[in-house]
Amino acid sequence: MELKLNYPDYNKFKEARFQLVDRLRQRGIKDERILSAMNKIPRELFVDPTFVLQAYEDVALPIDCNQTISQPYTVAFMTQCLNLKEGSKVLEIGTGSGYQATLLYLMGMRVYTVERIYELHIKAKKMFEMLGVDVNSKWGDGTLGWKEFAPYDGIIVTAAAPKVPEPLLEQLSINGRLVIPVGDRSYQAMYIITKIGEDQYKQEQEHYFKFVPLIGEKGWANGEYPL
């Protein structure tokens, strides 16, 4: 998979991109498919224009509608946890800027992504078109998954859930993995849940991530999230 990168400033951030990827490698990201794809994605296009110069710092940054593009380390870590083979079908909940979906696409996955905020859904769609990223995107409540195309080999939730939404467990294939941050407003543990049989799951946990809330029927109620 390749991106359409025929805009004049692409090479301006080449060195910064390379250095970011190198930092991720030093922090323990071992999957070279992830590192190589991140070395191609112009993160400066996905952040709020005010933050272009910080685009290659390893930090979460603002996008529209009070949401964020996740920290590059977190994106790489969660993707590594999914442990996907090329050609796997993967569902992302929380399209946001479209960066994570672009990464999965570049890694050769069949990508489905859901966003609850209409403006972000439309903006990400335009970005996918501009960069030639062939993913399926939908506006809706991702706590319910995307049943029509289930089961998925991997499901990645990029917003903080109060508990694991059951529809996402149901929509996993056998041996499929759900990677989801679960917790309260201060921090979330990263749950890595593997479906080992119908109604049988194995769960591992990593700590201390901080995400914006997953709002929806099986997530936080709108307005309920204690800021």
Identified binder of ligand SAM from the candidate list 97, 137, 171, 188, rule CB under 6 A: 97
Whole-angstrom distance, CA of residue 106 vs CA of residue 98:
12
Q: Tell me the window of 15-23, 96-104, 185-193, 197-205 that interacts with ligand SAM (CB under 6 A).
A: 96-104
Which burial class, exposed, middle or buried, applies to 4 when counting CB atoms under 10 A from its CB (0-12, 13-18, 19+)?
exposed
The Cα-based distances of 147 to 30, 59, 62, 143 in angstroms read 32, 33, 30, 11
Is 70 catalytic? The answer is yes
Do the beta carbons of residue 86 and residue 104 sit within 8 Å? no
Interaction pattern, residues 140-169, with ligand SAM; x per rule: CB under 6 A: -xxx--------------xx----------
Give whichever of 29 and 117 is closer to ligand SAM, judged by the CB atom.
Answer: 117
Q: Is 99 in the site for ligand SAM (CB under 6 A)?
A: yes
Give whichever of 126 and 202 is closer to ligand SAM, judged by the CB atom.
Answer: 126
Identified binder of ligand SAM from the candidate list 81, 115, 176, 191, rule CB under 6 A: 115
Identified binder of ligand SAM from the candidate list 42, 154, 176, 219, rule CB under 6 A: 219
Residue 100 CA to its chain's centroid (Å): 4
Q: What is the CA radius of gyration of the chain?
A: 16
Give whichever of 38 and 192 is closer to ligand SAM, judged by the CB atom.
Answer: 38
Strand ranges, E, within the chain: 61-62, 68-69, 89-93, 110-115, 136-139, 152-157, 172-183, 188-197, 200-209
Give whichever of 135 and 214 is closer to ligand SAM, judged by the CB atom.
Answer: 214
Residues that bind ligand SAM (CB under 6 A): 67-70, 93-94, 96-97, 99-100, 114-117, 120, 141-143, 158-159, 211-212, 214-216, 219
